[in-house]
Amino acid sequence: MKQVTYTIHTNNPLTQDVYRMVLEGDTSAITAPGQFVNLTLDGLYLRRPISVCDWDADGLTLIYKVVGQGTDQLSQMRPGETLDALAGLGNGYDLAACPNDPVLVGGGVGVPPLYGLAKWLIRAGKSPSAILGFNRAEEIFFDMEFAALGIPVTVTTVDGTAGLRGFVTDAMPEDAYVCVCGPEPMLKAVHKLASGGQFSFEARMGCGFGACMGCTMPTVDGYKRVCKDGPVLGYGEIKW
């Protein structure tokens, strides 16, 4: 973990309430896809955890949905403004544990961290595929970016306005090894169908680095801190 001051390069909407923010600054603390940064916002006491979509030596991309005061404020920030962040938080996905052909399953704002993961898997010589689930056509984002990586991409929408009608589980092959990020009901449904994999959880956090016990959840191996021992938990650890 490292405290970094990032400069906003761009901050643009991808859909009505999902934004892409590109930040410039030190990314040396980020070591795995699925990790997150914890941002300080003016006038708010607690930092806001946002998963890293993608990063390189010069900066990183965050994709976030406006759901409350913090993300609303974030959406109004302009290029050139700075953000104080704790970077490189959480464990991230374990690449070594992935088989050759993992299925990346993302729902809504759970999609972004899987993009960085897809790039890593490809770089490691693996052949991932992606299933991206949204509610409706207007809410779809990043499907083209995934396709541009040259991997098979299936889009699902609940109302059938684009892609396959239904949930991500309707597009899932049987007994797949999955890398998942999305709302908890989706994680649970995917867990039921999969034979193994890694699941990224979300929680309201106090500190984001394992000190306050504000985000611990029960697992097969006892209580784990979503921020420090997670946010990615293994298939066999999860207790619903």
Partner 1 sequence: MPDLSVNLLGIELSNPIIPASGTFGYGREFAELYDIDILGTFSFKGTTLHPRLGNPLPRIAEAPSGMLNAVGLQNPGVDKVITEELPNLAKIFHKPVMANVSGFSIEEYAETCRRLDGCDQVGWLEVNISCPNVHHGGMSFGTDPMQAAAVTKAVKAVTTKPVIMKLSPNVTDIAAIARACEEAGADGISLINTLMGMRIDPRRRAPIIANTTGGLSGPAIFPVALRMVWQVYEAVSIPIVGMGGVSSAEDVIEMMLAGATAVEVGAANLADPWACPKIIEALPAAMEKYGIDRLKDIIGGAHHG
Would you tell me which residues interact with partner 1 (CB under 8 A)?
Answer: 1, 3, 40, 44-47, 69-70, 86, 203-207, 209-218, 223, 228
Question: Closer CB to partner 1, residue 137 or residue 203?
Answer: 203
**Nearest-approach distance from CB 230 to partner 1, in angstroms:** 12
Residues whose CB falls within 8 Å of the CB of residue 170, separated by 6 or more in sequence, listed in order? 156, 164
The alpha-carbon radius of gyration of the chain (Å, integer) is: 17
**Nearest-approach distance from CB 88 to partner 1, in angstroms:** 12
Question: Closer CB to partner 1, residue 92 or residue 163?
Answer: 92
Q: Are 172 and 105 a contacting pair, CB within 8 Å?
A: yes
What does the alpha-carbon distance between residue 139 and residue 182 come to, in Å, rounded to a whole number? 14
What DSSP string describes 71-112? Answer: HHHHHT--TT-EEEEEEEES----STT--SSPEEEEEGGGSH
**Nearest-approach distance from CB 213 to partner 1, in angstroms:** 5
Question: Closer CB to partner 1, residue 43 or residue 125?
Answer: 43
Question: Closer CB to partner 1, residue 45 or residue 78?
Answer: 45
What does the alpha-carbon distance between residue 147 and residue 175 come to, in Å, rounded to a whole number? 24
**Nearest-approach distance from CB 146 to partner 1, in angstroms:** 30
